[in-house]
Amino acid sequence: MPFLSILLSTLLTILIPPLLFLTWYLHVPRAFPNLPRIPIYVSILGLWSSMGQDEIYERWFRAPLEEHGAVVVWFAGRWSILVSRPDWLTDMFRNEQLYAKAGSQIKIPHAVIATLVGDNIINAHGENWRLYTGIMKAGLQKKVFETTSLLKQSRKLVDALTNRQKETGGNRSILVNDDVQKWAVDVMGENFLDLELKSLGQPNGTVRIESLQSIIKATLFKPMYFSFPDLDHFSWLLPSRKRAYNIMNEFDNRLYAKIMTMLQNRNETDPEEMVSHMLGSAYKTGLITEKQLRDNLKITFLTAHENAQQLITSMFWQLGTRVDIQDRLRDEILTTAKMHSDPSQEIINSLPYLTAVVLELLRLFPPVCQLINRVALQPAMLGGELPIARGTFVGWNAWAVHSNPAVWGDDAREFRAERWGESVEEMQGRFRRETVRGTYIPFNAHKRKCLGQGFALLQVKILLFVLLGRVSWVVDPGYKLKMTPGGILAPLGCRVILTELKS
C-alpha cells in the first residue's frame, strides 16, 4: 500500500504540471464569441491521415461555417476566428485599421515561417506597409505587361511537357508539377526581379533556388510545426528544425546574392522598371534596411510564382477531366490564333470564354485558400453582430465562400464557366461586384487586395492560349485526385496524358 501511494503521488507530481500547462496553453480564451469550435486534432490530422484539405473541409468545417458564418479554430499556435460570411468578410477587409494585418513576423517571430517571410508588403501594417507599397506598387502593377516574354515562357513549358511525354511514351502519363513550378519561377524572375533563372527544360535540382521551393513548401506544411510553431523554440533539440532554418537562410542568401549581382551589372540607362530595381534603389538611398530589402525580395519571389503554379496544376486536373471545356476553349483560341499568333494583352483579354474559364478556375481552386493573418487592434463587432475581443486573430477561407450554395447557388461546386456571363464586360462587372461583396475572394478584396492580380490573370490566360493551341490532354484514369493538406488548395500532383494537335 505505501508503495502504491508513493507511486501514485510521484506520478501525479510528474503529470500535474504538464497537464496544467497544456490546459492553460490549449484553452479557448473566455472573451471568444459563442461559435462552433473545430476540434484541435483536426489541425494535426496530417500526422496520421492523408486526408486532403477538401475532405477535411467537408468533414469538419462546411456545416458549422455555412450555418454560423464563422468558427473557432486552432491555427498557428492559437485559437482564432475563421470567417466565411461575405458581409462579415467585407467588414473585415474594409476596416484594415481595426482588423490589422499581423503575419507570422508579429504572431510567431521566432518560427521557421517568420524566418522565411519576415516583414513584407503582404503581412506588414501601417507605416511599413505604406513604405513598401510606395516603393513596389509601380513594378507590380505595370499598365502593360510585355506579352512576348510570357508567350516565350509558355512555349517553353509546352515544349518541356511534350518532350517529357515523348520520352515517357504516348500511352503512359506524365506528372506536370515539376515543369509547372519551373515555368512559374522563371516567369516571376523575368517579370519582377530581372533574373533569368532558366530552370525550365533543365533536370530537377539544376537551378538550386528553384528546387529549394519544393523543399520550402514541404518544410512549412509539416502539420505539427505548422500548428504548434512554439516547438520552433526548441530547434536546438530538433535536427529537422535546424535544417528547416538552414533552408530558409539558404534561400534568403542565394536570392540576395543574385539580386545584388544583377543590380551591380545592370545598365542604369535600361528603362525597364522592375520590383527588384525599385527595392534596390530604396535600399541604396537608405529608405529601407537590408532586412526589409531581403524580406520583400523573398515575398515577391514566393507570391509571384506559387499561386500561379498551384492554379495551373488545378487547371490541368479540371480541364483534363472535362474535355468538353477544353474543346470549347480550344475553338476560341484556335480561331484567334489564326489572326494573332503572338497576341497582345488586349487580344488575350478580349476572349470571353478564356476569361470565364480562368475566373471559374479561381473560384473552384483558389490557390490562397485560407489565411488567418489579421488581429483586432480594438474590441470590435464584426458586421455589427459578432463580438471580437482585442488581440483576437481573425481570418478567412475562400473555398468556404466560393463553394457555399447559399452564395453561388446549388451548382456552387460545379465548374460552370457560363455563370460569369456572355461578354468580357459582363464578366468583368460580375468579377468586380462579387469581389466588393466578399463573395469572390481569390485575390482578397478592398484595401489589401492582391497587387499582382492583373499580371497573374494575363500570365495564366497566355499559358492557356499557348497550351490549348498545341496539345490536348486527359487526366490519367488511374490518378486519384488528392488535394494538398496545407493552406493552399490545389491537387498534390497531377498526372496527364498529352497529345500534340495535328498542325
On the CB side of 242, CA atoms within 13 Å amount to: 4
CB of 297 to ligand HEM, least distance (A): 11
Buried b (16+ CB within 10 A) or exposed e, 72-86: bbbbbbbbbbbbbbb
Distances (CA, A) of 323 to 364, 366, 494: 17, 21, 16
Asked if residue 489 binds ligand HEM (CB under 6 A), the reply is: no
Closer Cβ to ligand HEM, 121 or 278, answer by number: 121
Q: Which among 26-34, 236-244, 353-361, 448-456 is the span making contact with ligand HEM, rule CB under 6 A?
A: 448-456
Pick from 101, 107, 83, 99: which is nearest to 389 by CA? 99
Closer Cβ to ligand HEM, 440 or 473, answer by number: 440
What one-character DSSP code corresponds to residue 61?
Answer: I
Instruction: Report how far residue 231's alpha carbon sits from residue 223's, in angstroms, rounded to the nearest whole number.
Output: 12
Residue ranges in 125-154 that form contacts with ligand HEM under rule CB under 6 A:
133, 140
Q: Residue 28 contacts by C-beta under 8 Å, 6 or more apart in sequence?
A: 37, 72, 79
Residue ranges in 300-319 that form contacts with ligand HEM under rule CB under 6 A:
300, 303-304, 307-308, 311
If you search the block for the grid coordinates 499582382, which residue do you land on?
452
Angle at 43 between CA 41 and CA 45, to 5 degrees: 65
CB of 23 to ligand HEM, least distance (A): 32
Q: Which helix (H) or strand (E) segment is 73 a member of?
A: strand 70-75
- The helix/strand/coil state of 99 is strand
Tell which one of 151, 371, 400, 467 touches ligand HEM (CB under 6 A): 371
Q: Which helix (H) or strand (E) segment is 70 a member of?
A: strand 70-75
CB of 497 to ligand HEM, least distance (A): 26
Tell which one of 115, 219, 397, 444 touches ligand HEM (CB under 6 A): 444
The three cell numbers locating residue 416: 460552370
Asked if residue 456 binds ligand HEM (CB under 6 A), the reply is: yes
Number of residues that bind ligand HEM (CB under 6 A): 24
Asked if residue 448 binds ligand HEM (CB under 6 A), the reply is: yes
CB of 460 to ligand HEM, least distance (A): 7
Q: Which among 36-44, 166-174, 198-206, 444-452 is the span making contact with ligand HEM, rule CB under 6 A?
A: 444-452
Q: Which among 67-75, 298-306, 324-332, 379-387 is the span making contact with ligand HEM, rule CB under 6 A?
A: 298-306
Q: CB burial class (10 A; 0-12, 13-18, 19+) of residue 42?
A: middle
Q: Residue 421 contacts by C-beta under 8 Å, 6 or more apart in sequence?
A: 356, 427, 429, 430
Q: Which residue is nearest to ligand HEM (CB)?
A: 452
Instruction: Report how far residue 475's alpha carbon sits from residue 298's, in angstroms, rounded to the nearest whole number.
Output: 34
Q: Which among 73-81, 163-171, 366-374, 422-430 is the span making contact with ligand HEM, rule CB under 6 A?
A: 366-374
Residue ranges in 191-230 that form contacts with ligand HEM under rule CB under 6 A:
192
Asked if residue 451 binds ligand HEM (CB under 6 A), the reply is: yes
Tell which one of 89, 357, 450, 471 touches ligand HEM (CB under 6 A): 450
Q: Which among 242-250, 262-270, 352-360, 436-444 is the span making contact with ligand HEM, rule CB under 6 A?
A: 436-444
Closer Cβ to ligand HEM, 227 or 300, answer by number: 300
Q: Which among 45-53, 251-259, 364-372, 404-412 is the span making contact with ligand HEM, rule CB under 6 A?
A: 364-372
Tell which one of 165, 373, 403, 404 touches ligand HEM (CB under 6 A): 373
Hey, which residues does 97 pair with through a beta bridge? none
Q: Residue 503 contacts by C-beta under 8 Å, 6 or more apart in sequence?
A: none
If you search the block for the grid coordinates 502504491, which residue do you land on?
4
Tell which one of 111, 121, 248, 496 touches ligand HEM (CB under 6 A): 121
Pick from 17, 79, 187, 83: which is nearest to 444 by CA? 83
The three cell numbers locating residue 280: 534596390
Hey, which residues does 71 pair with through a beta bridge? 82
Q: Is 494 within any annotated ligand binding site?
A: no
Q: Which residues are annotated as a binding site?
A: 450
- Using CB under 6 A as the criterion, which residues of the chain lie in contact with ligand HEM when the complex forms? 121-122, 133, 140, 192, 300, 303-304, 307-308, 311, 367-368, 371, 373, 442-444, 448, 450-452, 455-456
Q: Which residues are annotated as a binding site for heme?
A: 450
